[in-house]
Structure 1
C-alpha cells in the first residue's frame, strides 16, 4: 500500500509539472514549521531546557486541539550551544529551510542579537521570547518582535520596592559584561541617579569568572546598604556563596532575574541563597488566565517549578498559534503582517507590540520581586501578587 501511495505521488508530481495542474492538498506540507533557536547545551542550558519543556507542553496542547488550518505545528529546534559564535550557524539551518515561516525562542541576548540581525536581512519574522538587551527592539527592525520585557525595564518592580520600602542611600551595582548585563545595569544606574542613591561601585565583570572574591572584598570595604547584581546562573550561585564566605552583610542583596530567579539557583547556592531578593517577570500568582494551571501542569509533567523563562516560552507558543491562525497565508511575509496586529491574552499577560521610548514592536508589562525564604521563592512585591511577607533588612550571617 505504501509503495502505491509513493508511486501515485510521483505520477501526480509529473502530471502537475507537465500540465500545470496543482497537486491536491492531501499531498502538500502537512505541518507548519516554526524554528526555535535556543541554548540546549552549554552554560545557558538550564534556561534553554526550561524553554524547551514549556514549548513542548504547549505544542502537545495545540496539536491535540487541532493545530492550525487543519495542519499540526512542528517545532524545529536549533542548539546555539550557549555561544554567540555558534548561534548564527545553528540559526542558518532554520533560515535555509523554506518551510520554516516563523522563529521564536532564544535565551541569551548575546546569541539573540546577531540572529535578529540576520532574520531582518532574510525577512524572517522572529518573536523573541526571552532575550532582554535593549538594542534588540531599538534597531528599528521590521521583522523582530519581543514578548519579554526589555532590560531597561527588568527591575521596575524592584525599583518600586526600593522606593517604597528600602529607601537606600548607597548601593553597589555588579554586572556581567554581556549585552544583557550592560543594558540592565544601565537601567538601574539611571534609577539610582534619578533617586539620588550614591552608587559606590559600578563595575562589570567577565562572565564565567571563577573567583569573585577580589571584587567582593571591594564591595565589603565599601559597605553599601544594597548589593545589586546581574548574573547568569553559574555566576549568581558563586557570588551568593562567596558573599557568605567573606561575610558581606548589606541590608539587602538583590539579583536582576536571570540566574537569581530559577529553581537551580536555590539548589546551587544552598543556604547562601536565603533572603536573596530577585526580580522576576512572572510567577503563578499573576492575575492572568491560565497562569496557575500552567504552573500545575509544568510541575506535574517535569517535577520542577517553571521559572519566568518557561512562562515566556509557553506564552510565545500561543502567540504563534494566534498569529498563524490570523495570517492570510502561511508565508513569512503574511506571518510578519499578522504579528504587527497581535492583541492576545496569555498566561504572561496581554501581548501587543507597540513603539515607545525608542523601542519598536515591544511588549510592555510589569515585573515582580521574589525573596528566598525557607529554601523557596516567595513573591513579596507588589503586595497584590504576594505569596509571602518580605523580610527587610535581612539579618547578618552571624545572626542566622
Structure 2
C-alpha cells in the first residue's frame, strides 16, 4: 500500500533500540466507538480515519520496528457499554492506551476507568467543555469544545443570519445539552432572544410534536445539536413541514454522509466544525488524496478526528520509547502534531489547542467555508 508522505514538524524518529527492552509483538491501541446504533455513521467514520493513520505508520516501519494494531470495541455511545468495552480492552486485551468514546456522556464514564487503571485516554470527538475540568490525570482531548465554537462563531452567525430570535434543539445527552447551553449563552449576550429549548432521544424518528411547536413560534433561526442519523431525519422533516427558518448547529452537518442522506434538505445549513475536506493547506490535500484512494469518498470531521487521534497517540508512543502507560501519558503532554487541520498541542489539563476550526454553509451539496479560525490556548 503506497501513501503520499505528510511532512510533520517536531516528529521524533527514534531508532529501534529504544524499544529493545519492550515485547516484540505489536503495539496495541484500544478504540471505543459507536459502531451500531443511531451514531454508527459517525463512529465508523472515526474508525476509517484511524485505520488509515495506522496503515500509513505500519507501511513506514511502525514504531521502533513494531507494527501498530487497533483493538476496536463498540461502545454504542452508551456509558455502560463503553465502560464494559474499556474494561475488556484493558483487562483482557492489555492495551496501554485508549481512544474514545465519542459521545461526551460515554467518554465521561470511560474517564473514570482510565483513571482507575492509570491508562491514558484520548478523545478526538467529545466536546462537552467540562470534561477537562474534572481533575483527571490521564485524560486528553484533541477536539473542539462547543463552548469554543459558540464563542468563536456566534457573532458571525447572529450578523450573517440576522438573528433576533432562536429556537434550540438538541439530542438529550451531555453533549446535546452542553451545546445548546453554550450557544444560547453567547447568542443571548449578543441580544438574541431564546424562544424554545427542546431535546430528543437518540434514535428518534418522529419530530412532529417538536416541529409543530417550532412552526408556530416562527423564530429567525434554529440551532441544532445532532449527529448524522438523528440530524438527517430532523432536517428532512423540517423541510417537509415547510419550515423556512435558518438552520445552524454543531455535529455532523458538514459530512458527506449527512449531505447524502438529506439531499436538498441540507441546502443553506450553517455548521461550526473542526474540519471539512476543502480546508486549505498541503497537509490536508495529502490527507484527502490518501483517504479518497483508500475509501473512494471524501473525509469528514470524524474521519479526520480518527486520523489525528491515532497520529497523536503513535507519536506519543514513539517519543516515550515505550508502550508503558505512564510514559505514554507524559509524552502526550509534549504533543506537537501538524495535522490536516492545523497544529495540535495540549495544556496541563489535557485540553487540545492550536488546530483550526471553520464555519461552513452547505451550498449545492458542498461545504462553502465562511471563515476559518485557529483555536487559542485556553
- The TM-score with structure 1 as length reference comes to 0.83
- Please say if residues 152 and 188 of structure 1, whose CA atoms lie closer than 8 Å, have aligned partners that are also in contact: yes
**Could you list the runs of 5+ residues in structure 2 that have no partner in the other structure?**
1-18
Decide which of 353, 363, 374 is 2:364's aligned counterpart.
374
Q: How far 1:249 moved relative to its partner?
A: 1.6
Q: How far 1:379 moved relative to its partner?
A: 2.1
3-state SS of 1:154 partner: helix
3-state SS of 1:131 partner: coil
- CA distance in 1: counterparts of 2:103 and 2:373, whole angstroms: 30
3-state SS of 2:143 partner: coil
- CA distance in 1: counterparts of 2:140 and 2:358, whole angstroms: 23
Q: How far 1:378 moved relative to its partner?
A: 2.5
- CA distance in 1: counterparts of 2:75 and 2:282, whole angstroms: 33
- Which residue of structure 1 aligns with residue 124 of structure 2? 129
Decide which of 186, 190, 198 is 1:191's aligned counterpart.
186
- Which residue of structure 1 aligns with residue 144 of structure 2? 149
Q: How far 1:99 moved relative to its partner?
A: 4.0
- Please say if residues 263 and 305 of structure 1, whose CA atoms lie closer than 8 Å, have aligned partners that are also in contact: yes
- CA distance in 2: counterparts of 1:329 and 1:28, whole angstroms: 10
- Which residue of structure 1 aligns with residue 340 of structure 2? 347
* Deviation readout 1:233-267 (Å, 9 max, x if unpaired): 222112211111221122x21121x2322222122
- Which residue of structure 2 aligns with residue 253 of structure 1? 247
* Deviation readout 1:210-254 (Å, 9 max, x if unpaired): 21121112111111111111112222112211111221122x211
Decide which of 32, 38, 44 is 1:49's aligned counterpart.
44
- Which residue of structure 2 aligns with residue 75 of structure 1? 70
- Which residue of structure 1 aligns with residue 3 of structure 2? none
- Please say if residues 277 and 300 of structure 2, whose CA atoms lie closer than 8 Å, have aligned partners that are also in contact: no
- Please say if residues 41 and 229 of structure 2, whose CA atoms lie closer than 8 Å, have aligned partners that are also in contact: no
- Please say if residues 42 and 227 of structure 2, whose CA atoms lie closer than 8 Å, have aligned partners that are also in contact: no
- Which residue of structure 1 aligns with residue 6 of structure 2? none
Matched, 1:305 2:298: yes
- Which residue of structure 1 aligns with residue 351 of structure 2? 362
Decide which of 219, 243, 266 is 1:273's aligned counterpart.
266
Matched, 1:228 2:255: no
- Which residue of structure 1 aligns with residue 31 of structure 2? 36
- CA distance in 1: counterparts of 2:366 and 2:344, whole angstroms: 29
- CA distance in 2: counterparts of 1:26 and 1:351, whole angstroms: 30
Greater Cα offset, 145-154 or 178-187: 145-154
When residues 83 and 311 of structure 1 are mapped into structure 2, their CA distance, relative to the original with a 3 A threshold, is same
When residues 286 and 271 of structure 1 are mapped into structure 2, their CA distance, relative to the original with a 3 A threshold, is closer
- CA distance in 2: counterparts of 1:333 and 1:308, whole angstroms: 29
**Could you list the runs of 5+ residues in structure 1 that have no partner in the other structure?**
1-23, 385-400
Q: How far 1:29 moved relative to its partner?
A: 3.1
- Which residue of structure 1 aligns with residue 165 of structure 2? 170
- The TM-score with structure 2 as length reference comes to 0.87
- Please say if residues 151 and 187 of structure 1, whose CA atoms lie closer than 8 Å, have aligned partners that are also in contact: yes
* Deviation readout 1:2-31 (Å, 9 max, x if unpaired): xxxxxxxxxxxxxxxxxxxxxx96993321
- CA distance in 2: counterparts of 1:158 and 1:243, whole angstroms: 24
Greater Cα offset, 282-291 or 228-237: 282-291
- Please say if residues 283 and 308 of structure 1, whose CA atoms lie closer than 8 Å, have aligned partners that are also in contact: yes
3-state SS of 1:34 partner: strand
